[in-house]
Chains A and B, each alone.
Chain A
């Protein structure tokens, strides 16, 4: 008898944490010590502690970005033309916003940003929505769903993979 798919991965829900006052300055998110090997397939199940801060605390509880969804591979890049105005926006930007601007000096996928910032994808999307609203970043969406890339692109990928 084979096991039903996913049975081994039936992760119990994380222990419920005490609700805390989200207006209180949040402590540092846990970094190295609590972060398990990123490539071990099962590690997420062992992180019983969970994040110290509720993931959406830094978005003020907002769970939906202000503009359309950002694909995990949408490319984000700073709008350098708008950057000189950043200081004028002043306190409107949180440290996480500034961190995104710092990482996205070169084009970077949304998933990479989230990984570097150690923030949940949904959180990063809300923050990106803020930055897009301020005109501080540009987003390049991947080809629309259902639209296959040009044959020339596919051939380039095949040749590129062969050459690796």
Chain B
């Protein structure tokens, strides 16, 4: 029976674009996702099974443990044919492989920095630099923090000159939106320079 194929063929499926929101624990990842998402942020989990080294050995099975790691994500629909998905990274280094999964095919990343704990975002920056994932750094300005100039933060982060750095308030929709726009503009600039070279 193949009479129903046209209905499937005519359905428009939006292009999904993935953006990763990274940074240290408490830097405001989920806050930023919530600020810009059109839906209340959802949570998806990955169950990690610590498989024994000798996986075929049944004696190890009873010692398998399962840990769940939660990832928050939000969605922004752009017109009828593009959907942005924003994924907050699990905030622990030992879940790097989940980062790999999120970063694979991602358009780019936002690294949120907290000037009170600037070192917390170093691993994120290192990670995206190594992977070659385009990213911007957004300094989340918490109310009680001393303000630093962009140059000071850039210097402290030892950031490549071409990587955009912005000050933001992750709770604020307009401010968080500006960060995303800066990221996509950065990706566009990279894409343009690539086609020209």
Contact = CB atoms under 8 A, between A and B. Distances in A.
B59 interface: no
A62 to B, nearest CB: 12
Nearest to A139: B13
Contact of A120 (B15, B40, B46, B120): B46
Contacts of A9: 25, 91-92
Contacts of B180: 161
Given A120-B45, A148-B187, 5 more contacts: A39-B40, A81-B3, A112-B42, A144-B105, A160-B78
B161 interface: no
Given A38-B40, A120-B45, A157-B184, A143 B15 contact: yes
A73 B16 contact: yes
Contacts, number: 209
Interface of A: 2-11, 13-14, 16, 19, 38-44, 47, 50-51, 54-56, 63, 71-75, 77, 79-82, 84-85, 107, 109, 111-112, 114-116, 120-123, 138, 140, 142-145, 148-149, 151, 153-158, 160-162, 164
Max chain B CB contacts within 10 Å: which of A8, A9, A41, A157? A157
Contacts of B192: 151
A145 B104 contact: yes
A114 B44 contact: yes
Nearest to B28: A41
B147 interface: no
A155 B7 contact: no
Interface in B5-58: 5, 7-8, 11, 13-18, 24-26, 29-30, 34, 36, 40-47, 49
